[in-house]
Structure 1
Amino acid sequence: MSDLIQIFAKAPLAGKVKTRLATDKGDEFALQIHHRLCETVVNMALDARVAEVEVWTTSDEACSYFESMGVACYVQQGQHLGTRMDFAIRHGLARHHKVVLIGADAPSIDGQYLADAFQALEKSSVVIGPAMDGGYVLVGATEPVSFLFRDMPWGTPEVMGFTLERLFTAGVGFHVLSERWDIDTLDDLKRHLPDWLNA
């Protein structure tokens, strides 16, 4: 296929995932939620059948877990989130015409949303899926866009605004999808996935 979905997911290790959720509910609960998020998002991407799917995780050891779901797995490269995203997208674009990167913490993304993202890349060089918290849940491109990932205040409400500002300044054609939510905190879980509180 000429299109590729990349899923960023941390290695499933207690104390290393969903740390804000763990503050309220403990490391083991946070790990269970992380597992459920990863499995939900990977299966959704595979079931969408709109592109090849691969996972980018944080350790070699974690790849067997993700490969057991039927996807290729790579280890993220770089010291910071921005450099890791840039590396993955460049790696994808060396093999595919269009690359869309999503996080494993955004189960609000569905197959239609992914299809819309790839459709947007038919006319625009970049597509962004904004998150309710001011970041984004999806970024896609048809060409390397390293400038989007340098010196970005990741994890803050300013990310989306800075991203759009950089795209305007660079004169790069882009499309913004509808807003989606992700899961970072206990409040997020209560609001969007209350059934998961009994995980």
Structure 2
Amino acid sequence: MNNKSALGILFRIPEYGKVKKRLAAQIGTEDALSVYAAMLYETIESVSKLTDIDIYGFYQGLASTQHSLLKKFQSMPQKGKDLGERMLNAVQWLFEKGYNKVVLIGADSPDLPARYIEDAFLKLNYYELVIGPAVDGGYYLIGMNMPLGIIFKGIKWGSNSVLKDTISIANNEGIRYFLLPQWYDIDDIESLRQWKNQQFSNSFLP
């Protein structure tokens, strides 16, 4: 460990039929797999340029099919029954390694400006919790300067109330938080069209 700040990326190993199922229903399973692989590639390439931040991967799926780009940083399987448990376990693991600032993102916002991630770490000097609100009612980033397990409890993951419920918990617990600018996740054809830095053919976009 060279730095005091750690970024964890939660993602799925690109496997046919296992990724972007909502998008696959619109553009087909093969193209959805290509899109997700491109999203993961773009995400990893983007965060790899960050400085003074150690990067870790937390994956779901078969490690034997692990994307070659993941060799850029240490990766390990996610642990937990739902997204909340998986994020909590990742956060706790990173704090136990000695980091004092931990931020988690996914691979669903490949063109997320790097400055948002950098600002998240900066804001953790003054706030206990930083959240990046997503357009769909969830969040694209969450960071903290201490383990805040309560933040992941009792949330209906995948709903449009994730952000609202997370903020409610923070308010009830007296946790000081900061909201980053809103950004979007790529989950359907409409959000896919917003992705300006596409690394794949547009031929399957109607």
TM category, shorter: over 0.9
Instruction: List alignment gaps of at least 5 residues for structure 1.
Output: none
Where 1:48 maps in the other structure, the secondary structure is coil
Deviating 4+ runs (over 6 angstroms): none
Question: What letter matches 2:170 in structure 1?
Answer: L
Say which of 150, 166, 169 aligns to 2:169: 166
Distance 1:34 1:120, change over 3 A: same
Q: Which residues in structure 2 correspond to 1:22-33 (within 5 Å)?
A: 22-33=24-35
Say which of 125, 129, 134 aligns to 1:126: 129
Structure whose residues are more often helix by fraction: 1
Say which of 192, 197, 203 aligns to 1:198: 203
Q: 1-side partners of 2:75 and 2:196: how far apart? A: 27
Distance 1:124 1:63, change over 3 A: farther
**2:79 equivalent in structure 1:** 77
Instruction: List alignment gaps of at least 5 residues for structure 2.
Output: none
- CA RMSD across the alignment: 1.7
8 Å CA contact 2:130–2:144 kept in 1: the answer is: yes
8 Å CA contact 1:55–1:66 kept in 2: the answer is: no
Q: 2-side partners of 1:138 and 1:126: how far apart? A: 11
**Would you say how many aligned residue pairs link Structure 1 and Structure 2?**
199
**1:5 equivalent in structure 2:** 7
**1:175 equivalent in structure 2:** 178
**1:110 equivalent in structure 2:** 113
8 Å CA contact 1:3–1:98 kept in 2: the answer is: yes
**1:87 equivalent in structure 2:** 89
**1:39 equivalent in structure 2:** 41
Distance 1:60 1:100, change over 3 A: same
- Shift of residue 193 of structure 1? 4.0
